[in-house]
Structure 1
Amino acid sequence: MSKEQLDDSAYRKSVIRDIILSYRKYGMTANEYFSYGFPKKNAYERNKYISRMRKDKLCMEAIGKNWKDALAQLKDKNIFYSIAGQFFKRKACKVDSEDDRSNFKLFCQGLDRFIAKPSKGACGKGVEIISLLEKSADEVFDYLRSNGSYIVEELVKQDARMAEWNESSVNTIRYFSFRKGSDFSTMVSVLRVGRKGSVVDNAGCGGVFAAIDSNTGIIITDGHDELGRVFKEHPESNKVFKGYKIPEWESLKKFAQEVHKSLPECHKYIGFDFALSTQGWVLIEGNWGDIIMPQISLGRGFYDEFKEAILK
């Protein structure tokens, strides 16, 4: 909203009424309302968007009575690692209670640094890279324990082709994967890249994202961020988004299906985050991911595609 609009009390009231209406009709939060440009969308266009609430309802309908199990396994990074750790292809360890101290000290052996993530965190908040050069493993363990529950992981050695986007962060692919019996499918994917100096690529922490054609691995939009800004090039590295082909794309599609196939059948839908390491694709995490980034990037809703992909 412009300053003039904010100063116009009648306009503000009309927008508030529209936000409330959009929540009742489409389950849109105020953040989603503005992110998707609802003030400029008509009723037909609005109904095509999938809000978090609509997405959750479809997931619960598809999964049935076991939906809470699926959600719990994705909400806690330590639980997810316990069922998908083989695909991380790096060391990891839980830091949740005093019982984890000995395993943490074993994890630290041979490492100078590692990444720590709040076990139930989201949007990259609270993630930090921790050095072991000046503090003992016991001191670091006590520091983490004082701040909550974490998963700690060996750092990913990123493929140089992906590091070119932003070398301070591990830049990932959000890959939406659907399961119907023995069949697996996907829809549009997303490249997520960090900004200079940031260790995360999350849009919620200032990262930039662009939509990818999941058949070809080619980026089909400019970059966007959650503030509504559009970037033809990455702001620091100057790499052009549209037209770039993600390296090793066919390998990623096979890897995503392999990961999803290994998980309990209650996982009808997962938003995977994958990174290209020097040894190939690795799993970063799994989410009951919202469809915010594709809908912002492409300027249209994905409700129909999501519903068709997840429901039999």
Structure 2
Amino acid sequence: MRILKRAAIAVANRFPLLSDESKMKIYCACITDPESAASRHLELLSRKPDQRMYADMRKALHKYGMFYDEYAVYGCDVNPPGDYITEAGRMTLLSHFNDKNAFSLFADKYSVYSLFRDYYKRRLVRVSRSSDYEAFASFYNDCAPVFAKPLRGSCGNGAVILESGDNAKALFETLSRGEGYVCEELIRQNGAVRDFNPDSVNTVRFTTVLKDGKVIPFYPFFRMGRKGGITDNAGASGVMVPVDSETGRLGKVGRDENGRYFNRHPDSKIPFDGFLLPEWDNALNLMASLARTVPAARCVSFDIAYSANGWILVEANLRGQFIGQQLCCGKGLYTELVSLL
């Protein structure tokens, strides 16, 4: 479904002479599937839009750069669209925070590992070039099962667990095709953080902003996977809950990108309200250390997890989205983020 949606967006944007109404029909055709991450308003998307809605969606597209799937996921038939950080405007906004040379430092997951190696607290190897084979074979034979994800991937797409007992050479040849992969030791989570969903690594997304030497956590939220899923990404039906940045306490209500609300995890049934993430002071200290590692990168998205070794870095992204933050707090955050420039 994601591939279909991207293809439709590409087609609609590639042909600028296509009428707005035709563009909207293409988008809506891709977001009416109940499994789609764009079905924010089931009643909105299950009926034919009326002329008022056509006009409102066209206005949001042309005035704010808001795609039709964003209009739906943010519920902009109710919430004014003007203050949302859109996908069309995200990179422009981030380019004002981050030096252009900083983006090359975050070019892929192995580059990020090289920057923040001390905070990973686990082994990670690149599987991309023929010269990577010996390191991969040694790592796989020592550590399997291991977690593998595309070198330049996002949203958990393509992530797999490589079980022990397979032929290292055959695995390497498969993984090194195209842009390649990174492989890392499995993260072993502890206690109640793990219990929300034992099948995935459940993480806190910290988007940090450096301003006048101070590290500002910008609307952190806790992400949990669903039963049987190995990633916690919202695009893979994961659940997001806001986190009080001072105390580490979860909010009362969680969200997913399918427009559903939860007061407890839908599979484990563990309630969110009042749950305190462990050793939160250590999480804040880790966040501050990470944010100061690359001063030229003033706005970075960090995913951290609570493991047997305490809080550790899962990965970092200089092109992080703001969907989770805006869904969790129920409002657009453009004005607030711009005020931190």
Task: Give TM-score, length-normalised by structure 2.
Answer: 0.83
Hey, what's the Cα distance between the residues in 1 that align with 2:237 and 2:139? 31
**Among 48, 52, 56, which residue is 2:87 paired with?**
52
Q: Distance in 1 between matches of 2:102 and 2:43?
A: 44
Distance in 1 between residues matched to 2:157 and 2:293, nearest whole Å: 29
Task: Select which of 61, 72, 77 maps to 1:34.
Answer: 72
1:98 aligned to which of 110, 116, 130: 130
User: What is the deviation of 1:2?
Assistant: 5.6
Aligned residue for 1:279? 309
- What is the CA–CA distance in structure 1 between the aligned matches of 2:81 and 2:252, rounded to whole Å? 21
- Structure 2 counterpart of 1:305: 336
1: CA distance, partners of 2:201 / 2:313: 12
Aligned residue pairs total: 300
Q: Given the superposition, is the C-alpha separation of residues 6 and 256 from structure 1 closer, same or farther in structure 2, using an over 3 Å criterion? A: closer
Residues 169, 3 of structure 1: CA spacing in aligned structure 2 closer, same or farther, 3 A cutoff? closer
The alpha carbon displacement at 1:5 in A equals 7.0
- Segments of structure 1 that go 5 or more residues without pairing to the other structure are none
CA shift for structure 1 position 231: 0.9
2:157 corresponds to 1:125: yes
Q: Deviations over 1:151-206 (max 9, x none)?
A: 11111111122111000101000011111353211122110000011110000111
Residue 82 (structure 1) shift: 1.5
Letter in structure 2 aligned against 1:29:
F
Partner AA of 1:206 in structure 2: S
1:14 Cα offset (Å):
4.2
Cα distance change of structure 1 residues 16 and 118 upon mapping to structure 2, 3 Å threshold: farther
Matched, 1:268 2:298: yes
For structure 2, the residue ranges without an aligned partner over 5 or more in a row are 1-40
Q: For residue 24 of structure 1, what is the aligned residue in structure 2?
A: 62
Among 157, 172, 175, the alignment partner of 2:206 is 175
Task: Give how far 1:18 is off.
Answer: 2.6
- Equivalence map 1:78-97=2 (5 Å): 78-97=110-129
What is the distance in 2 between the residues matched to 1:244 and 1:191?
11
More deviation, 242-251/118-127: 242-251
Q: Which residue of structure 1 lines up, in the alignment, with residue 219 of structure 2?
A: 188
Please give the alpha-carbon distance, in whole angstroms, between the structure 1 residues aligned to 2:257 and 2:210.
29
Question: C-alpha distance in 2, partners of 1:266/1:218?
Answer: 31
Q: Where does residue 177 of structure 2 map in the other structure? A: 146
- Does structure 2 retain, via aligned residues, the 8 Å contact 1:212–1:221? no
User: Cα 1:7–1:111, aligned 2, differ >3 Å: closer, same or farther?
Assistant: closer
Between the aligned partners of 2:261 and 2:44, the Cα distance in structure 1 is 23
Correspondence 1:108 to 2:140: yes
CA-to-partner distance for each residue in 1:74-94, whole Å, 9 max, x for gaps? 351111112112211100001
Change (3 A) 1:249 1:100: same
Tell me the TM-score normalized by structure 1: 0.90
Q: Kindly tell me: are residues 206 and 2 of structure 1, through their superposed partners in 2, closer, same or farther at Cα, counting changes over 3 Å? A: closer
> How big is the shift at 1:50?
1.7
Deviation at 1:114, TM superposition (A): 0.3
Report the counterpart of residue 198 of structure 1 in structure 2: 229
Tell me the distance in 1 between the aligned counterparts of 2:265 and 2:174.
35
